[in-house]
Structure 1
Amino acid sequence: MDIDLDKLDLHDYKPLREIVFESIREAILDGRLKPGERVMEIQLAEKLGVSRTPVREAIRKLELEGLLIMEPRKGAYVADVSLKDVVDVLEVRSSLEGLAASLAAIRASEEEIQLLREKSTQFKECIEKSDVQGMINKDTEFHEVILQAAKNKKLTSIIESLREQVQRFRVTYFTEYNMTTYLVKEHQNVLDAIESRNSEKANEYAQKHIENIEKFIVSRVKDNFKIDNI
């Protein structure tokens, strides 16, 4: 197994165990470590250029988060996620993202609206360059500005937790979803509603955006997931 991980920058100000944890976690979320793949301490330590101790600590923490599963006498594996799990998360997230957009339409400052415009433009530029990682980053930042503008810390915490649970599938979504003009239009609809202070429309458009992601996953990539309990 050749793990796609780079040696760590050990000059980072964070504790080594935290750097190792974040590196492995990111590899799981962005799909470099795939569901069902075995995770071995020795290989990870060699790839990251560290001892096995912080890797072992990271594996334990990732198990607590549900991203890794420990099996007796077999070791650690990247947790599988069923299609039903993903759909359940997106159904909840759809309503909460709608709420966030509706609050943003009421509470957003002019600076935050301008920032939304900038993120929307940057997202379009990434599409023109076929920059998938850039699209993912700018889409994330667009939604983060909406959460910032909603000014509700509890809502932000819940949505971010839900987003991370499906983060590993976003590469597939942005790579395979070739109707990118629709993504641009969806962002623009949400932006226009927030800018015009129309909380009802902001709610509607934000929910629709997440619902379209759900429909895509169900129709196009369900073969990549375990489909138990659908």
Structure 2
Amino acid sequence: MVHKLSSVKLDNYKPLRDVVFGALREAIITGELKPGERLMEVQLAEEMGVSRTPVREAIRKLELEGLVVMIPRKGAYVAGLSLKDAADVFEIRESLEGLAAALAAERITDEELEAMEKILMEISGAAEKDDVETIIKKDAEFHQILFAATRNDRLAQIINNLKEQIDRFRVQSFTNRGRIKSILQEHRRIVDALKGRDADMAEKLAKDHIEKVENNIMNILRKQMDFEEEPS
């Protein structure tokens, strides 16, 4: 491992194992820990300033989430994502996020709609500055508001778990300025449907949005696989 993880910040309200789990999970999702990278307990513990026990517990929990794979006699590795894996995830996400948008159209508050409008303005401003980090953060906030507006916590949790399996590839996705412009347009149409309380249109637009996200991510995965297969 060539990276250097930061020491974890202790939280008086969370057990240490949960803090370590959250830090490792974030490192995987953001790409700091890359697919195929080996997770060595001793080194991770030293970098994070903790003992091996919470690191071991966190790795096991990450395995259950599908973000880590255990290889017999070799150890733990950051899970990769095959084209089949991605296609399976998006197939489910398209249906669930369509449902979420339909429910949100019926239940969203004016305050939530205003918050979504503000986020779209912030994404537009960040795009002008090529501030990818802010764009990713605000895009996540946009979707969180949408999920919260369903008033269905179970649905939101399931969608979030699926999203995180794909989010590791969002950085590459958002470096495409043309795609950022398209995302803003897609989000704008969804907000307009929510404002109009048009559940059918909101569902259709959300599904169309996820299909476009899928096409973009799948292209990224194919290019990565082609690169890895090229002879050195």
Q: Is this a same-fold pair by TM over 0.5?
A: yes
CA contact (8 A) 1:102 1:202 kept: yes
User: 1:142-185 CA distances to partner (integer Å, 9 max, x unpaired)?
Assistant: 11111111222232122112111212111121124543211111
Other-structure match for 2:131: 131
CA–CA separation in structure 2 for the residues paired with 1:42 and 1:50: 10
3-state SS of the aligned residue for 1:166? helix
Gap runs ≥5 in structure 2? 227-232
CA contact (8 A) 1:190 1:202 kept: yes
Compared CA separation, residues 122 and 109, structure 1 to 2 (3 A): same
Other-structure match for 1:201: 201
CA contact (8 A) 1:80 1:225 kept: no
Instruction: Quote how far apart the aligned CAs of 1:76 are.
Output: 1.1
Other-structure match for 1:210: 210
Q: Which has the higher contact order (CA 8 A, sep 6+)?
A: 1
Say whether residues 1:141 and 2:155 are aligned partners. Answer: no
Other-structure match for 2:30: 30
Query: How do 1:13-24 and structure 2 match up within 5 A?
Result: 13-24=13-24
3-state SS of the aligned residue for 1:154? helix
Compared CA separation, residues 116 and 32, structure 1 to 2 (3 A): same
Compared CA separation, residues 37 and 177, structure 1 to 2 (3 A): farther
CA contact (8 A) 2:173 2:179 kept: no
CA–CA separation in structure 2 for the residues paired with 1:154 and 1:10: 29
CA–CA separation in structure 1 for the residues paired with 2:36 and 2:179: 30
CA–CA separation in structure 2 for the residues paired with 1:13 and 1:152: 26
User: 1:11-67 CA distances to partner (integer Å, 9 max, x unpaired)?
Assistant: 553221111111111111111111111111111112111122221221222222222
Compared CA separation, residues 2 and 129, structure 1 to 2 (3 A): same
Query: How do 1:147-166 and structure 2 match up within 5 A?
Result: 147-166=147-166
3-state SS of the aligned residue for 2:33? coil
CA–CA separation in structure 1 for the residues paired with 2:197 and 2:124: 23
State the one-letter code of the partner of 1:18: D
Number of residues of Structure 1 aligned to a counterpart in Structure 2: 226
Compared CA separation, residues 12 and 127, structure 1 to 2 (3 A): farther
User: 1:69-119 CA distances to partner (integer Å, 9 max, x unpaired)?
Assistant: 222221111112111111211122112111211221121111111111112
Say whether residues 1:183 and 2:211 are aligned partners. Answer: no
CA contact (8 A) 1:102 1:199 kept: yes
Gap runs ≥5 in structure 1? none
3-state SS of the aligned residue for 1:32? coil
CA–CA separation in structure 1 for the residues paired with 2:134 and 2:19: 23
Compared CA separation, residues 154 and 16, structure 1 to 2 (3 A): closer
CA contact (8 A) 2:101 2:199 kept: yes
User: 1:186-230 CA distances to partner (integer Å, 9 max, x unpaired)?
Assistant: 11000111111122211111111111011112234323259xxxx
Percent of counterpart pairs with the same letter? Answer: 50
Q: TM-score, normalised by structure 1?
A: 0.91
CA–CA separation in structure 1 for the residues paired with 2:225 and 2:61: 24
CA contact (8 A) 2:127 2:177 kept: no
3-state SS of the aligned residue for 1:8? coil
Root-mean-square deviation over aligned CA pairs: 1.8
Q: TM-score, normalised by structure 2?
A: 0.90
CA contact (8 A) 2:132 2:174 kept: yes
CA–CA separation in structure 2 for the residues paired with 1:188 and 1:196: 12
CA–CA separation in structure 2 for the residues paired with 1:125 and 1:153: 31
State the one-letter code of the partner of 1:224: Q
